[in-house]
Amino acid sequence: MLQAPSQKALIPFVSVENMMRLVHHIGVETLLEELAGVVEGDFRRWELFDKTPRVASHSREGVIELMPTSDGEIYSFKYVNGHPRNMSHGLQTVTAFGLLAEVSTGYPVLLTEMTLLTALRTAATSAMAARHLARKGARTMALIGNGAQAEFQALAMKAVLGIENVRLYDIDPAATEKTIRNLSDSGLSVTACRSSQVAIEGAEIITTCTADKQFATILTDNMIGAGVHINAIGGDCPGKTELHRDILLRADTFVEYPPQTRIEGEIQQMAPDYPVTELWQVVAGLAPGRRDDNQITLFDSVGFAIEDFSALRYVREKLRGTGFYQEIDIIADPDDPRDLFGMLQRAQG
């Protein structure tokens, strides 16, 4: 059912409803753990992929982006937006959809929602990075910013690293209350904190995931002690950061794709020669990650197309035998490939 399409084939489409069914069918934590493994596997073969910074259209309100890549056999792209003010209108800050295609024919083989899937792949990538960069045995994380991404981040760290305690802070108490409610049956010990300073006390992993499109200082240098791993995922476009630059002067910084991260990540604050390590090199054993328990590590994560490729590939495989998709007709299939107009004529009447 999900094989490469022939002329007459219909394309599998995963709606939001079916994506939710698939997630519950697999189990959220199982999915996050498996997806972290798939992302890690694709990072190991990073050099095989076409890589380009995402194609972005910026406005005062936000950004709309296309994120393409290919491993030479499969092509993928994601359409995604980021509009922080959407929440005030009852809309999602981030929405997305994605596509997989067969390189040899150019035919699509999967079309799917990616609003949920992006949250899952972002969390899985964060946890995969922390597996390589955080101190071994870390059990407590702080989540600064308790919006749509928060629960996914917490559950991924639990599934992949064994995190047991989550300390929360958001400038909007309702967001923290929402996160506590949603994690009430997760097995995590969840604590609401009155400030970001209080939230990071005792945390071995700090995740920042705020939404405002501005140069912000969510963490200051004096807040960060030795041995902490920082997972910065909110600063993901030009003019948007979360960390004071002095933190970066003390930290060893790991990134996905430097040409993109230097424009969009925390390191946009730094000089062009600010040293970074590409995370794929750590995963592949070509560069060191955490060297000792006192090192401050920073994963300056802006999201990259290869992670979406991994997520789409994972979903395509997991769909087999489930029925959690519809087949849609988006490829014209004239009996004679040269006679597209004849196909149109025959549809009249």
Residues 176 and 101 grouped into a single domain: no
| pLDDT in 10s for each residue of the chain, 349 residues | 444 444 457 999 999 999 999 999 999 999 999 999 999 999 999 999 999 999 989 898 888 999 999 999 999 999 999 888 898 899 988 899 999 999 999 999 999 999 999 999 999 999 999 999 999 999 999 999 999 999 999 999 999 999 999 999 999 999 999 999 999 999 999 999 999 999 999 999 999 998 665 556 788 889 999 999 999 998 666 777 889 999 999 999 999 999 999 998 999 999 999 999 999 999 999 999 999 999 999 999 999 999 999 999 999 999 999 999 999 999 988 889 999 999 999 888 6
Residues 112 and 139 grouped into a single domain: no
Range of the domain at 316: 11-116+306-341
pLDDT of residue 210: 83
Strand partners of residue 63:
58, 82
DSSP track, 59-111: -SS-EEEEEEEE-SSEEEEEEEEE-GGGGGGT--S--EEEEEEETTT--EEEE
- Total domain count, the chain: 2
In a domain, 217, yes or no: yes
Residues 162 and 188 grouped into a single domain: yes
Residues 27 and 151 grouped into a single domain: no
In whole angstroms, give the CA distance from residue 145 to residue 49. 32
Residues 86 and 146 grouped into a single domain: no
The pTM for the full model equals 0.93
Q: Which residues are annotated as catalytic?
A: 236
